[in-house]
Structure 1
Amino acid sequence: MRNLPDDLLLNCLARVSRLHYPILTLVSKRFRSLVASIELYSTRTLLRRTESCLYLCLSFSSIFQFEPPKPRWFTLCQRPTRIPKPSSGRCFRRKLEEKKKKKKPKPIDYLMVSVPTHNFSPRNHTWNEAPSMRMIREYPIASVVDGKMYVLDGLAGPGSLDSIEVFDLKTRMWEDLPSPRAEIFEGSLVLRSLGMNGKLYVCGTGKSMVYEPKEDKWDVVVVEESVKPPFFSSCVVVNNVMYSPMMSEMIHWYDSVGRSWRVLKGLEELPKLPKRCSRVKLVDYGGKIAVLWVKKVRSAVGFGKKRIWCAVIAVERRSSDDEQEEVYGKIEWCHVVLTVPKSCHLLDLLPVKV
């Protein structure tokens, strides 16, 4: 490895899953430098080896009351495998081989590790500054549809739809979106937006609307109250299917044909999710659902710490005998990825393509 040029090493490292990078930084200073280089991620893009990575943002309260909470970022990685130290003699090797045969292989373990983002590092884990929007928004809501990000004001009335801006991720340019007539909303508040089936859905307390970019047209969508997910509930669209925990300790999916929410089957072994929506996050993790939730740890003196759980669920659509479509989930892994103080709060969970 010492005699290999950096270009060849970068080519090799680019073919390794991003989950192993925190482990590779422990190999040597040279590996640590290469893993942190922007050239590595450029090589991954050229080789088409990009993958979805999870970034978690937590808020940690300061011991000083006058200081605001400090956000910290974490990323998901694979825990290093512990290998027992070898000893001399055939007896040890024989026992080790017998032990391997008897024991079933343990599932891969994952954990969240802290990433240095001090005003953000100039190499990896880097935030790219985009051109400023034309308007300052107090409660911005953003959704991505076909490579474009639509931003509007959340928790606002009809006037918020008069100032929708669109950011093209390729051209890095902002443009205004022709907005619907204010009277269509009839004073209802804008709660959330979603990108699904190549369309932008804007949900309000009264009526909801859909924008079709190809036709450049707005239409009213009639959505029953029973169909709308709770405003503070996490909601994600994976392969044009909407999922939400729905404040019921289970994950539901939205049946667009039957216009109803249905339980995602096949998750009997998934622990019950918290009913409080602020403690659950769902994101699209490369075509799968990544679920992250926070549970308090009860101790002899009460709740002292919090455990952050994470699960990755593969989803599959099936047709039953009565031709009714069902969606099944398969848990790929599920366990605790981080333990934090009770003063810590969950802010956001982001999937990033790198």
Structure 2
Amino acid sequence: MLEGRSCLVSRVLPSSCEQETKWGYMNCRAGVEVEISSGKRRLESDREGEGGLRKTSKVCATEVCDTEERLSRAQFDRLSLSRSPVVGHSNNQRQGGDRSDMDCLINSIGRDMTINCLLRCSRAEYGSIASLNRSFRSLVKSGEIYKLRWQHNVIEHWVYFSCRLLEWVAFDPASRRWMQLPRMNSNECFMCSDKESLAVGTELLVFGKDLMAHVIYKYSILTNSWSSGMSMNYPRCLFGSASLGAIAILAGGCDSQGNILSSAELYNSETRTFETLPSMIKPRKMCSGIFMDGKFYVIGGIGGNDARVLTCGEEYDLTTRTWTEIPDMSPGNRGDAPENGMPAAAEAPPLVAVVNNELYAADYAGMEVKQYNKQTREWATVKRLPERSGSMNGWGLAFKACGDRLIVIGGLRAHGEGIIEVNSWVPSEGDANWELLGTKQSGSFVYNCAVMGC
């Protein structure tokens, strides 16, 4: 039985042009109880007050377990939901006559089978699942369900990006739904500073500068809220970064005095700690980071006393904890100065992404997609970028890997309003066309973008 608990639920808000899901909290009314009658379950609140609020909650199980006994949706709906017991603090015994096992979740099939089913539900449904009872809520809010998904290689990739300062949205390429995140609560100094973003584990990290120092804001999908207070061992900005499961590596950048750094550190989202790594061979800022074949790479950037454009990359082996320089790994290969004569710092870091351990890059000047040959260490054009993917010297355009596909997020301004487009291409499908996954009225400039896989 749920009594006065704050439950995480999803609210789908349709509009004329899109379906937007906002995650929020609502207080479950006293007296909410699960009733099982004639093979059906019903979640009904007390009818007193404000029109007799009534909600029905179902466990999403459209694609249930790959087990010997597959459960159909109808069968799953007929299963009895276990009600969480009230546990005494002193003697740890159940009270109120609840005879169900707290660890079973669904009594008819047991805890292990229940979790096996939930792993295959879309994580967009986990808010509703968490509202069923304490056991389900603990499974979701503790992050245990996401750890089990990683172990079983059940991963969904969502794109998080910001087209308006301090505002973030998420997009699910599978269901093509938009989710609005809570607004960041920060000062004007952070709003106007250079920012980097990184998704690792179940967290979205946004790095920037406050009045006096570098700061990190963290959004957690477990609590649907922002927090601050984290700090790197060597605070920096304009660095290269990438994540692999629950860990991420941040390398290079510059400190608060503008010095270009060669230092690197590893962030563990499970322990929420930063570990200092061996320094890179060359200091560099405005570089890009990727994971490929289980190793971390930093590509391009600006380094040296004369702020030269670096065409080399560096490979970090997590096992040997050593860096190796790789010549001509930057897709631009621009040499000492950009061809258009602009300062090196005016151009965006390399737009690179890895799909199935293959490295791709977006050439914003030539409007092309290039692929890197690991054997010859050469870049070759494989595709055109979507025609409406405009940018300002690479700024304002997002080029990311999202599972087995490449995602390009860009837009244009029409009639005073910005429109963002999300385009997708699956490299394994060969020369297929870009697929338009979604559009949204927003700012037409992508400030930051990150992909979370969990």
- TM-score for both structures, normalised by structure 2: 0.51
The alpha-carbon deviation at position 2 of structure 1 amounts to 0.8
Match of 1:142 among 236, 241, 255: 241
CA contact (8 A) 2:240 2:253 kept: yes
1:239-274: per-residue Cα shift (whole Å, max 9, x none)? Answer: 222212211223222223343322224x79x54532
Cα deviation for residue 291 of structure 1 reads 2.1
How far residue 129 of structure 1 moved from its aligned partner, in angstroms, is 7.1
Distance 2:280 2:417 in 1: 48
- Which of 30, 38, 52 does residue 156 from structure 2 map onto? 52
User: CA 1:278–1:175 in 2, change beyond 3 Å: closer, same or farther?
Assistant: same
1:311 paired to 2:395: no
| Paired AA for residue 397 in structure 2 | V
Matched pairs, number? 285
Which residue of structure 1 lines up, in the alignment, with residue 440 of structure 2?
338
Kindly tell me: are residues 253 and 37 of structure 1, through their superposed partners in 2, closer, same or farther at Cα, counting changes over 3 Å? farther
> What is the rounded CA distance, in whole Å, between the counterparts of 1:180 and 1:336 in structure 2?
39
The alpha-carbon distance between structure 1 residues 262 and 34, as it changes in their structure 2 partners (threshold 3 A), is: farther
Q: What per-residue deviation string (whole Å, max 9, x for no partner) do you get for residues 151-175 of structure 1?
A: 23325788511x3222245554432
C-alpha separation between the residues in 1 aligned to 2:234 and 2:254?
16
Aligned mates of 1:75, 1:202 — CA distance in 2: 27
CA contact (8 A) 2:240 2:288 kept: yes
**How far did 1:114 drift?**
1.6
Correspondence list, 1:42-81, <5 A: 42-43=144-145, 45-46=147-148, 48=152, 50-60=154-164, 69-76=165-172
The aligned counterpart of 2:181 is: 115
- 2:392 aligned with 1:286: no
CA shift for structure 1 position 180: 4.7
Q: Please give the secondary structure, in 2, of the residue aligned with 1:345.
A: coil
Q: Which residue of structure 2 lines up, in the alignment, with residue 5 of structure 1?
A: 81
Larger helix fraction of residues: 1
1:174-196 per-position Cα deviation (integer Å, ceiling 9, x unaligned): 32222256xxx4x8756333333
- Residue 215 in structure 1 maps to residue 215 in structure 2: no
1:191 aligns with 2:287: yes
1:292 counterpart letter in structure 2: I
Instruction: Map 1:78-93; keep pairs closer than 5 Å.
Output: none
- Letter of the 2:439 counterpart: V
**Is 1:203 the counterpart of 2:320 in the alignment?**
no
Q: Sort the Cα spacing of 1:49 and 1:233 in 2 relative to 1 into closer, same or farther, 3 A.
A: closer
Query: Per-residue CA shift, 1:207-246, capped at 9, x if unaligned?
Result: 6333333333333322177654864342212222221221
Residue of structure 2 equivalent to 1:274: 390
% identical aligned pairs: 15
Q: Please state if 1:152 is matched with 2:251.
A: yes
SS in structure 2 at match of 1:136: coil
- In structure 2, list runs of 5 or more residues that go unmatched: 1-40, 44-79, 83-104, 108-113, 186-218, 302-308, 335-346
Tell me, yes or no, if the aligned pair for 2:408 and 2:422 is still in contact at 8 Å.
Answer: yes
Shift of 1:201: 3.0
Task: Evaluate the alpha carbon distance shift between residue 220 and residue 334 of structure 1 in structure 2; reply closer, same or farther with a 3 A threshold.
Answer: same
**Structure with more relative contact order (C-alpha pairs < 8 Å, separation 6 or more):** 1
* Partner-residue secondary structure (3-state), 1:346: coil
> Partner letter of residue 349 of structure 1?
C
| Distance in 2 (alpha carbons) for counterparts of 1:115 and 1:253 | 34
CA contact (8 A) 2:289 2:296 kept: no
Q: Structure 1 length normalisation: TM-score? A: 0.63
Q: Which runs of 5+ in 1 are unaligned?
A: 61-68, 80-109, 298-302, 317-326
Q: Distance in 2 between matches of 1:222 and 1:49?
A: 34
Distance 1:176 1:31, change over 3 A: closer
Give the CA deviation at 1:346. 1.6
Structure 2 CA distance for aligned equivalents of residues 213 and 309 of structure 1: 37
Contact 1:148/1:166 (8 A) holds in 2: yes
- Asked if 1 retains the 8 angstrom alpha-carbon contact of 2:421 and 2:436, the reply is yes
- Give the drift of 1:31: 6.6
